[in-house]
Structure 1
Amino acid sequence: MSSTSLSSISADLSRIRLEIRSLQPQVVLWRRSLHQHPELGFREEMTARFIAQKLQEWGIPHQTEVAQTGVVATLEGNRPGRVLAIRADMDALPIHEENDVPYKSQHDGKMHACGHDGHVAIALGTAFYLAQHRDFAGTVKLIFQPAEEGPGGAKPMIEAGVLKNPDVDAIVGLHLWNNLPLGTVGVRTGALMAAVETFHCTIFGKGGHGAIPQQTIDSIVVAAQVVNALQTIVARNLDPIESAVVTVGTFQAGTACNVIADTAHLSGTVRYFNSNYAGYFGRRIEQIIAGVCQSHGAHYELTYQSLYPPVINDGAIADLVRSVAETVIESPLGVVPNCQTMGGEDMSFFLQEIPGCYFFLGSANAEKGLDFPHHHPRFNFDETALGMGVEMFVRCVEQFCR
């Protein structure tokens, strides 16, 4: 990032109201405390207690143990109006942290390597501010969600009724995003993030001596042809205007250089934006595997799982978030309109139920070395983004609940 960009970002801080700028140091402390105590999906007991304790201190009504470890807080404005939900995921990843910082993870092999500690801190900052400033119409629900990284906590929370009682009219959420520099917001109507599907396949051949292949059915040869054939799905079966990915991520077979393996194991992931392709990739992958195996006399077992649908933003709520972003951030970088990623997010389940918008809040600062990618053992972000996130959420409430 250039010095010009950094100076413009400093100017942007004046756009964050004084009360939230004063709250910034406390939000940073909350984030760092959470960062030191990362917990995996559906095991976020300490995190949930931390959240509940703060809500209790501030007199904010809340429920705990929603979908195991989730927390839901409810804030009412000073007059009737619509209901807006704010979602923050709170789980960490099974990664050993390599950052040398005072607030480094104290849980070996676990790390907040995707910014969820920041998401929780931003939502807490929003809750604190709104509890002190009730001059808005309607109701705000803050949904602290477990297990976004897996196996997925959004759907269980919906099934537990978090969008009811009172019924939620719309939902917003953000992701701190090291793929964008500090001082930017990525927001768009329609598909923002991809559907996530996975497959696991075992090819069964007939093993034997590496020097006598005519007595065998070589599972490695079969599996290799499957890998190559799967690449034709995107290249030759999809409309070239559409975007999709079929990736084989693992391939395991064989025990010795002179032994033809009788089994080979493959696994991979599928990503796409267009909801019309739901179900298509699973069928097409099985057709290809079945055809290749049949041609060689092999057989197979395939497990295919659809995890998350694509994240599809509602046009009206995306417009609201975009207008808010334009008031919070005014820099040469500004609002990024067509930011998309093949990464997945179970925020998609909320967006299937009600209108909403999920957006990216730029958090990278290369000059400070805070630009490692998500899920990297040295992932960290510029904490200036935390105050920006609180301001974004508060203004969304003020614009929607009026």
Structure 2
Amino acid sequence: GVIGLHMEESIKAGCIGIKYGIMNASSNPFEITIKGKSSHGAYPHEGVDAILISAYVLTALQSVVSRETSPLNSVVLTIGTVNGGYAPNVICDKVVLKGILRTMDAGLRKSIPKRIVKITDGITKSMNASFDFDMYEGYPCLINDKGMTDLIIKSAAEQITRENVLMLENPSMGVEDFAYFCYNVPSAFYRLGCRNEKKGIVNSAHSPLFDIDEDSIEIGMITECQAAVNFIFNFASR
């Protein structure tokens, strides 16, 4: 078995957070290249404006989540970068959109890329352009094994008391490479609280102001050690 943890700024130091089942979403990075035709800005009718077309594509793709996916299913479709154009007086001939799809549903992970292609194909064809689409296999969902989750809960409770072991209600749409362990051996992942409002330690993990209450490091160490001991006696001896 494998046990892992991640610092969590929304949980106060001295506590951990964990849940059964899905802990983190899956991800698929993708890239769309809109290909138009360059021309002088004074003669736009002689070109095919890739920037204009990419704006339609970007807007239309948001309907995949808002109008084609059940509100009860968690999906995030993000376009994170838009790159194109060379000069203010030139009609752009190529725009590259880079984004990422996040979901917890295997069916949606397969079907949404097909919708991205169909929507982009329809818009580009209607505006005399073409496109390339590439999607990459990202991280799978992180799914906690029940037995290993029980092990962490028991081990943490022995060291920091059960009331400081928080059962998380919802998974995270963030992704985690620990998920690969979960697909090969029984594994579980938890959040180690590092927030301390009295010390001003409240900033997001992706903020340049991020910090941790270093007292939380001890909590992580003793939880991991206790879990290792319990694992040896409860699992490996079977």
Whole-angstrom CA distance in 2 between matches of 1:291 and 1:318: 46
Aligned position for 2:212 = 381
Q: After superposition, give the CA deviation of every residue in 1:280-337 in whole Å (9 maximum; x if it has no partner).
A: 3332222221121111110112221122111111122212222333333348764132
Equivalent residue for 2:107, pick from 248, 260, 276: 276
- TM-score, length-scaled by structure 1: 0.55
| Kept in 2: contact 1:373–1:379 (CA 8 A) | yes
| Kept in 2: contact 1:325–1:335 (CA 8 A) | no
**In the TM superposition, what is the alpha-carbon distance from 1:339 to its structure 2 partner?**
4.6
| Kept in 2: contact 1:183–1:331 (CA 8 A) | no
Aligned position for 2:236 = none
| Kept in 1: contact 2:182–2:188 (CA 8 A) | yes
Equivalent residue for 1:237, pick from 53, 62, 68: 68
Structure 2 counterpart of 1:180, which letter? Answer: I
Is 1:184–2:15 an aligned residue pair?
yes
Structure 2 counterpart of 1:217, which letter? Answer: V
Are the structure 2 counterparts of residues 231 and 345 from structure 1 closer, same or farther at C-alpha, using a change threshold of 3 Å? Answer: same
| Kept in 1: contact 2:75–2:103 (CA 8 A) | yes
Structure 2 counterpart of 1:203, which letter? Answer: I
Q: After superposition, give the CA deviation of every residue in 1:211-264 in whole Å (9 maximum; x if it has no partner).
A: 433222111111001101110111122222110100001112223333221111
Q: Which runs of 5+ in 2 are unaligned?
A: 234-238
Percent identity of equivalent pairs: 31
Is 1:246–2:85 an aligned residue pair?
no
Whole-angstrom CA distance in 2 between matches of 1:337 and 1:303: 35
Is 1:298–2:129 an aligned residue pair?
yes
Aligned position for 1:115 = none
Q: Which runs of 5+ in 1 are unaligned?
A: 1-169
Are the structure 2 counterparts of residues 334 and 355 from structure 1 closer, same or farther at C-alpha, using a change threshold of 3 Å? Answer: closer
1:346 partner SS: coil
**In the TM superposition, what is the alpha-carbon distance from 1:195 to its structure 2 partner?**
0.9
| Kept in 2: contact 1:187–1:339 (CA 8 A) | no
Is 1:255–2:86 an aligned residue pair?
yes
Q: After superposition, give the CA deviation of every residue in 1:52-111 in whole Å (9 maximum; x if it has no partner).
A: xxxxxxxxxxxxxxxxxxxxxxxxxxxxxxxxxxxxxxxxxxxxxxxxxxxxxxxxxxxx
Q: How many residues align?
A: 233
Is 1:312–2:143 an aligned residue pair?
yes
Is 1:288–2:119 an aligned residue pair?
yes
Aligned position for 1:356 = 187
Whole-angstrom CA distance in 2 between matches of 1:256 and 1:353: 51
**In the TM superposition, what is the alpha-carbon distance from 1:208 to its structure 2 partner?**
1.7
Aligned position for 1:366 = 197
Whole-angstrom CA distance in 2 between matches of 1:319 and 1:332: 15
Equivalent residue for 2:168, pick from 324, 334, 337: 337
Aligned position for 1:162 = none
Segments ≥4 residues shifted beyond 6 Å? none
Whole-angstrom CA distance in 1 between matches of 2:144 and 2:220: 18
Are the structure 2 counterparts of residues 248 and 242 from structure 1 closer, same or farther at C-alpha, using a change threshold of 3 Å? Answer: same
> What's the RMSD between the two structures over aligned residues?
1.9
Whole-angstrom CA distance in 1 between matches of 2:189 and 2:118: 35
